[in-house]
Structure 1
Amino acid sequence: MRRQLTLATGVLVALIGLADFRQGTDLSMQVFYFLPVALAVVARGPGFGLGVSVACVAISLGGDIAAGASFPSLVVPAWNAAIALIIYLVLVWLLSSLLHLQHELERRVEQRTAALAGEIAERERLEKSILEISERERRSIGHDLHDGLGQHLTGTAITGQLLAERLQERAAEETPDAFRVVDLVKTAIAQTRHMAKGLLLADIDPEGLPPALAEFCAVTTAQFRVACIFITEEPTVPLPPGNGVASHLLRIAQEAVRNAVRHGGAKRVEVRLHNRDHRLTLMVRDDGSGLPPAAQRSGGLGLRIMAHRAEMIGATFAIERAPAGGTIVQCSLPLP
């Protein structure tokens, strides 16, 4: 590009000088030399522009002399040449300053773009790390509930059962109360297992998404006493391997269902999974009070986490109020 501009500068100087010679001394061609001077500055910088300026003044003056121009004294052509050279030098200085400002601006834009890219990459890394830590903590709590608290409650239930049977052998009045305590402990064991199962449904294989969603809906129905129904047309889903796609979709469904039950007061929740036109769509619909307008505008922590999970797997995320009441959460993922 620089070689082409340099060649164009030389050609223009020669053509304008020839035209200046043929025009004679009646009309001035000084303004036409601005173009090669400007091209010289763009092509090679202010030094080359200065050289082209001197050449343009010399060619213009030489052309006038060759055309037979007569001057009353040498001061006149020297003055005209000096004025033309000063004008060209001002042009060179202005263009050089503008180019320097442009290059400085481009450099700052590149630096800022690189800094923003680094900040975005660091933010994504931190968000991914936070989600990974969250998943590990979920699994840890789930194992503690199942293997720790669950086993402890089981032992308590056995001890209480033995105590209740001894009281029954003695026909003690406290026998019904003892059996009631055992029943309460058994209920606590069942709730603990349901909670642990919900927390341990984290890392699943791509083909295990429908069974995991069905199991989660069953656990939700038993734990919260609501009608949580799983509907699908596909026994298996051709999800891309890796990146935890199935786990993220399961977590989005869990968050949406729990929001519907805890905050929306829903009595019926439908979790749908269907594959159409090479897009896998997960939809959670409830009959609760719906999403408040303020929450829909600003978005709570759960909504932002769901949206971020969808973004991490390349899916689109949308949440809206259902026309007949309730909330619709939809996550759509393109399939290979």
Structure 2
Amino acid sequence: MDSMPEPLPLPPAPSRLPRPRAGLLIAVLLLSFVLGLAWLVAGQWQTESSRAALEDLRARSVRLHHLDTLLLQMLDAESSVRGYLLTRNPVYLRPYQEGQAGLEATLGALRADAWTDEGQRETVDHLALLIDMRWSLLTQAIERGVPPTAVQPDGGTGKQVTDDIRARILTLRAATQAEIDATQDGAFARFADARTMNRVLGASVLALLLVLVVVLYRQDRLRERMAQLLHSENERLHTEVAHRTQELSSLASYLTNAREAEKARLARELHDELGALLTAAKLDAGWIVRTLPADSLAPLRGRFDRLLDTLNQGIALKRKVVADLRPPLLSELGLVEALRALPDSGDIGEHGGALEIDLPESLPELPPPTALALYRIAQEALTNVRRYAQATRVRLRLRIEGDELELTVEDNGVGFDPAARGDDRHGLAGMAHRVQMLAGRLDIDSAPGQGTRITARVPFARMH
């Protein structure tokens, strides 16, 4: 069910509204991404450098342990041999007997260490030779049964070799400790640099986040402003459309009333002036026929008969035109009788359509504008049926439904699509406007091949 007329579409919104600056937001987001990526890379670099420093410290600490272990194993072997030679107790020889394998393992670990200085690696090799030499001296002392330092005031060759071993171990240990200190200093320096970088990057990211918050806040304010502008613009457009619609409605009402007034004026002039002229001409023609002698009238009798017939047709045509312009039955007998006489006016019947009339016996007296509007709607609807519907059955019904007076014209014709817009729908628009003038509504129910039903409803309580 479609109602007429539909509301007018709103004009497009103006293009002078402010636009959000998306470029700034994209730039801030991109810069934040770059700084975040830099922060991530810096953190990864700091982690890797810290791990490398810790592994280096652990390796050098293990080297220190090996050097200390080597010196301790050598001194334990010397003490073991000295105790055995002094006491001749074989128990004292156990550290010596078990120490050679430990010395070889410790020396192997030192040789396998990643020495960065070639001189240190040569020192380790020379240290291994000194230890072999010292171990040979200890073995000889056990075989002779006399300590090698017993007859020598300076301790002899064994003490010199031991002192040389201790000096070289201490040299390697000092160099390793210096490397550990340098590694620690470098790690601390990198920690300081990383902390400074983290502070800079963190402050930059926080600043960008603050800028992003400010930008988003301004974007939100801008959207609110745009929404307010759109709302105010829509309100203005709605007001303007309502005002223009009211102007058009008033103009249409004025034109409709002016057209009906002009029709009434033409009907009066045709009835009074043309009717009087045609009637006078008919009376004069009849007087001439009656006054002429029979012998003079005989040759002109045919022409006078055609003249009288033409005058009668003119009078009948005048009555029909006057009835179309201002139906006399509407003003004299009311809406019901005017509608009942519509089939006699020739508005339907060209396609063999039969009109069914369902009208009340009587109605309360209606205001002339209301009766005329409903009559014109029925007249226009039946005219459309005659022109377009190709219907075989048409029904005209008028009834009271509650507080409304309902007029329905229904046919079983070809129908149409009410939603389709066309330039030839002025009749339907005129019906809708007439109903709107009475504060009513017009409903059109139709579909291709399913006939058409037009229903006009106007408030009945206002017509008392």
TM-score between both structures, scaled by the size of structure 2: 0.45
- DSSP 3-state at the match of 2:334: helix
Asked if 1:317 is matched to 2:440, the reply is: no
Highest relative contact order (Cα 8 Å, sep 6+), 1 or 2?
2
Question: Displacement, 1:250?
Answer: 0.8
Check 1:327–1:195 CA distance in 2 against 1; reply closer, same or farther (3 A cut). farther
Asked if 1:111 is matched to 2:111, the reply is: no
C-alpha separation in 2, matches of 1:260 and 1:164: 46
- DSSP 3-state at the match of 1:330: strand
Asked if 1:233 is matched to 2:360, the reply is: yes
Residue type at the aligned position of 2:362: P
Q: Does the CA-based 8 Å contact 2:405-2:460 persist in structure 1?
A: yes
Residue type at the aligned position of 1:255: E
- DSSP 3-state at the match of 2:298: coil
- DSSP 3-state at the match of 1:108: helix
Check 1:329–1:102 CA distance in 2 against 1; reply closer, same or farther (3 A cut). closer
Percent sequence identity over matched residues? 26
Q: Which residue of 2 is the match for residue 162 of structure 1? A: 287
Question: Displacement, 1:335?
Answer: 3.6
Question: Which of the residues 185, 205, 217 maps onto 2:311?
Answer: 185
Check 1:92–1:203 CA distance in 2 against 1; reply closer, same or farther (3 A cut). farther
- DSSP 3-state at the match of 2:399: strand
Question: Which of the residues 111, 121, 127 maps onto 2:252?
Answer: 127
Check 1:216–1:112 CA distance in 2 against 1; reply closer, same or farther (3 A cut). same
Q: Does the CA-based 8 Å contact 1:210-1:236 persist in structure 2?
A: yes
Question: Which of the residues 253, 259, 267 maps onto 1:142?
Answer: 267
Check 1:95–1:259 CA distance in 2 against 1; reply closer, same or farther (3 A cut). closer
Asked if 1:195 is matched to 2:321, the reply is: yes
Q: Deviations over 1:185-210 (max 9, x none)?
A: 112202211221231239968x9321
Question: Displacement, 1:218?
Answer: 4.5
Q: Which residue of 2 is the match for residue 272 of structure 1? A: 397
C-alpha separation in 1, matches of 2:236 and 2:301: 78
Q: Does the CA-based 8 Å contact 2:416-2:447 persist in structure 1?
A: no
Of the two, which has the highest radius of gyration? 2
Q: Which residue of 2 is the match for residue 213 of structure 1? A: 339
Instruction: Give aligned pairs, total.
Output: 252
Q: Does the CA-based 8 Å contact 1:270-1:284 persist in structure 2?
A: yes
Q: Does the CA-based 8 Å contact 1:291-1:326 persist in structure 2?
A: yes
Task: Give 1:89-104 correspondences, 5 Å limit.
Answer: 89-90=214-215, 92-104=217-229
C-alpha separation in 2, matches of 1:152 and 1:267: 42
Question: Displacement, 1:118?
Answer: 1.7
Alignment RMSD, CA only?
4.3
Structure 1: gaps (5+ residues):
1-74
Check 1:181–1:318 CA distance in 2 against 1; reply closer, same or farther (3 A cut). same
C-alpha separation in 2, matches of 1:167 and 1:175: 10
Q: Does the CA-based 8 Å contact 2:431-2:442 persist in structure 1?
A: no
C-alpha separation in 2, matches of 1:86 and 1:263: 70
Q: Does the CA-based 8 Å contact 2:418-2:444 persist in structure 1?
A: no
Asked if 1:176 is matched to 2:176, the reply is: no
- DSSP 3-state at the match of 2:405: strand
Question: Displacement, 1:284?
Answer: 3.2
Question: Displacement, 1:86?
Answer: 5.7
- DSSP 3-state at the match of 1:96: helix
Question: Displacement, 1:173?
Answer: 2.5
Check 1:86–1:265 CA distance in 2 against 1; reply closer, same or farther (3 A cut). closer
Q: Deviations over 1:14-69 (max 9, x none)?
A: xxxxxxxxxxxxxxxxxxxxxxxxxxxxxxxxxxxxxxxxxxxxxxxxxxxxxxxx
Q: Does the CA-based 8 Å contact 2:416-2:452 persist in structure 1?
A: no
Residue type at the aligned position of 2:444: A
Residue type at the aligned position of 1:330: T
TM-score between both structures, scaled by the size of structure 1: 0.59
Q: Deviations over 1:240-290 (max 9, x none)?
A: x58x22221111112223344456677986532122454432233568xx4
Asked if 1:304 is matched to 2:429, the reply is: yes
Residue type at the aligned position of 1:182: L
Q: Does the CA-based 8 Å contact 1:234-1:274 persist in structure 2?
A: no
